């Protein structure tokens, strides 16, 4: 994208939460500009920035939510982030300024910056540049990713990320396909091994969906794999919820979990127990 000469923001960058439905914030951007933006990272596409998150890494976090994702997880609570053009076009300098505003407070509160999505590595050049800038501001940096495009980051770029929060959807290719609609998860497992060899800290996330991901053998295999890496500091079992349901309906998407209830506290405790039994610090 050529350097924007006028303010590119179609709406307020700061969102109340990622659960706000945001559509078509950069619709109409010329295709060539979009391709150039993705290639250089001069401009990123963001659903929103949110402040004050206590659930996206250690301490209090500012979170930038990117748009675009290659998966179609049946439990996704932010399907409006699947489409790049639903994000606002944000020049890298604007993103860095946004972080600079909060940098002092985040450091005082021992928090930091998390890049999430969507899938942030769909915009890997923007992601790498924003994370490096955050590091330059002295912030603790984290990325929440499904890991599929991790090879787009060099080892030096990974070193700018203090914490990788890896969302694993399953262990076997069949289960991965059942949950995400995508064929192959070997690159995700490879990413875990790469982080282990680089000794980079990881958190693991696993969304517990009754009837979909509460498969004992899958959880045991994910847990054993994660434990074998030796760098997973924490495992979070996230109970499925219906906060994203209205987005699926508003977007006329086929939501197969409309009748699925959140897991019971006992089911969550059982899942936590499986990960703990593998030797992980799970909650």
92 Cβ neighbours under 8 A, 6+ residues apart: 41, 42, 43, 44, 126, 129, 130, 133
Task: Determine, following the binding rule CB under 6 A, whether residue 170 of this chain makes contact with ligand SF4.
Answer: no
Among 119, 160, 162, 218, binds ligand SF4 (CB under 6 A): 119
Nearest to residue 125, comparing CAs of 85, 86, 154? 154
Beta-bridge partner residues of 116? 65
CB under 6 A: which stretch of 54-62, 66-74, 134-142, 251-259 binds ligand SF4?
A: 66-74
* Residue 277 Cβ vs ligand SF4, minimum distance, rounded to whole Å: 26
Smallest distance, ligand SF4 to C-beta of residue 124, A: 15
168 touches ligand SF4 (CB under 6 A): no
Q: Which two tokens stand for residue 250?
A: 């508003």
Considering the rule CB under 6 A, would residue 143 count as an interface residue with ligand SF4? no
Helix ranges, 86-181 (H) = 92-108, 124-136, 155-159, 173-180
By the rule CB under 6 A, 73 interacts with ligand SF4: yes
Q: In whole angstroms, how large is the CA radius of gyration of the chain?
A: 18
User: In which residue are the tokens 């790469």 written?
Assistant: 194
Residue 182 touches ligand SF4, criterion: CB under 6 A = no
Stretch that binds ligand SF4, among 21-29, 44-52, 111-119, 125-133 (CB under 6 A): 111-119
Binder among 117, 147, 170, 192 for ligand SF4 (CB under 6 A):
117
- Contact call for residue 120 and ligand SF4 (CB under 6 A): no
Q: In what order do the strands lie in the sheet with 163-167?
A: 88-91, 43-53, 61-66, 112-116, 140-145, 163-167, 202-208, 232-239
Query: In the bound complex, what is the minimum distance in angstroms from residue 244's beta carbon to ligand SF4?
Result: 9
Q: Which CB sits closer to ligand SF4, 96 or 251? A: 251
- CB-nearer residue toward ligand SF4: 67 or 103: 67
What's the CA dihedral at 59, 19, 115, 86 to 10 degrees?
A: -160
Site for ligand SF4 contains 165 (CB under 6 A): no
Binding of ligand SF4 by 71 (CB under 6 A): yes
Other C-beta atoms lying within 10 Å of the C-beta of residue 49: 21
Please pick, from the candidates 57, 87, 118, 192, the single residue that binds ligand SF4 as defined by CB under 6 A.
Answer: 118
Is 190:246 a contact under the CB 8 Å cutoff?
A: no
Binding residues (CB under 6 A) for ligand SF4: these are 69, 71-73, 76, 78, 81, 117-119, 146
């Amino acid at each position: 994208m050529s350097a924007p000469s006028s303010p590119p923001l179609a709406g307020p960058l700061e969102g109340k939460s990622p659960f706000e439905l945001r559509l078509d914030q950069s619709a109409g951007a010329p295709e060539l500009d979009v391709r150039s933006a993705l290639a250089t990272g001069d401009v990123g596409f963001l659903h929103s920035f949110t402040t004050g998150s206590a659930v996206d890494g250690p301490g209090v976090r500012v979170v930038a939510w990117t748009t675009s994702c290659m998966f179609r997880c049946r439990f996704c609570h932010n399907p409006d982030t699947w489409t790049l053009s639903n994000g606002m076009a944000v020049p890298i300098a604007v993103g860095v300024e946004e972080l600079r505003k909060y940098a002092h407070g985040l450091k005082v509160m021992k928090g930091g910056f998390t890049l999430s999505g969507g899938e942030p590595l769909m915009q890997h050049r923007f992601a790498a540049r924003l994370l490096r800038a955050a590091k330059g501001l002295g912030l603790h940096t984290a990325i929440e990713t499904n890991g599929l495009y991790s090879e787009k980051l060099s080892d030096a770029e990974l070193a700018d990320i203090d914490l990788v929060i890896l969302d694993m959807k399953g262990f076997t290719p069949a289960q991965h396909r059942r949950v995400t609609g995508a064929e192959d998860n070997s690159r995700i497992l490879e990413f875990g091994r790469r982080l282990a060899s680089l000794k980079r800290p990881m958190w693991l996330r696993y969304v517990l969906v009754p009837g979909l991901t509460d498969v004992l053998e899958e959880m045991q295999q994910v847990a054993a794999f994660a434990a074998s890496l030796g760098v997973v500091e924490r495992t979070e079992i996230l109970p499925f919820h219906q906060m994203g349901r209205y987005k699926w309906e508003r977007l006329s998407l086929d939501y197969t979990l409309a009748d699925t209830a959140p897991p019971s506290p006992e089911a969550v405790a059982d899942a936590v127990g499986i990960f703990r039994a593998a030797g992980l610090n799970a909650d």
